[in-house]
Structure 1
Amino acid sequence: MTETRIVERLDAHCLAHPGAAKGQPFRDDGIFAFTVAGKIFAILRPGHEPPRISLKGDPDESERLRATHPAITPGYRLNKRHWNTVLLDGSVPDELVLSLVDDSYDLVLASLTRAQRANLR
């Protein structure tokens, strides 16, 4: 899939999650953060070459992914234990990237209070 197409697909996929919102909380206007209840679960950088997305992950799974996919690296300017950055250069299957978005969302969702989760429905 082309870089532009995967960025569009990721944007739509992130926003399809219950309670998801998109914003630009950083100084760089070309960086988009996807949040649930104000907590970030994905950071998309479409203007970089190649585009990239940073996602929260289970630390053990993150290590495994980094070992098997050179395009998955420790989170850029993020907690390297809990975040990965995925270069969207086509080397990581699109379905895996979408699955990692789901995992990131689920991790952040699990950190919310019961009341916050109830308000998402």
Structure 2
Amino acid sequence: MTPERLRAFCLGFDDATEEFPFGPEPSVFKVGGKLFALSWTDREPLRVNLKCDPEDAVRLREEHPEITPGYHMNKRHWNTVEVAGLPDRMVRELIEDSYDLVVAGLPKAVRLRLDRP
């Protein structure tokens, strides 16, 4: 997955936005004003921080050396994913899971507006 494809995938979700609160990098992808992905798209290797269920986070780290505790994030809830080491499909699923976890924590009125199951 390229940085451009990662960006396009993140922005393809309902109400997803890209912001740069820390300067020109990293890209911060949000839904309902809450972070669901953070990526330094100009660095090699390409990495993205994603929210994850705590139990799944531990399992994924054990199974995949490309997945580590979230860099500068709450290590219990966030993973850093080295994109190049994983199949594109898996990276897309991890991004979607992160988005869904964040949406689940939004107020009900916002969730209903997002047209997500």
1:107 alignment partner in structure 2? 101
Alignment partner, residue 37 of structure 1 = 32
* 1:15 matches 2:23: no
**What percent identity do the matched residue pairs reach?**
48
| C-alpha separation in 2, matches of 1:70 and 1:120 | 34
Partner of 2:73: 78
- What letter is aligned with 1:77? H
Alpha-carbon deviation of 1:6? 2.2
1:59 aligns to 2:54 (yes or no):
yes
8 Å Cα contact 1:42/1:53 also seen in 2:
yes
Instruction: Pick the aligned partner of 2:111 from 88, 102, 117.
Output: 117
Q: TM-score, normalised by structure 2?
A: 0.92
CA distance in 2, matches of 1:117, 1:42: 18
Q: Distance in 2 between matches of 1:78 and 1:102?
A: 19
Return the offset for 1:98. 0.5
**Runs of 4+ residues over 3 Å off in structure 1:** none
TM-score by length of 1: 0.89
Structure 2 residue runs without a partner (length 5+): none
State the one-letter code of the partner of 2:2. Answer: I
Offset at residue 118 of structure 1 (A): 2.7
Moved more, 57-66 or 110-119: 110-119
Q: Report the Cα distance in structure 2 between the residues aligned to 1:119 and 1:102, rounded to whole angstroms.
A: 18
Structure 1: state its 5+ residue gaps.
Answer: none
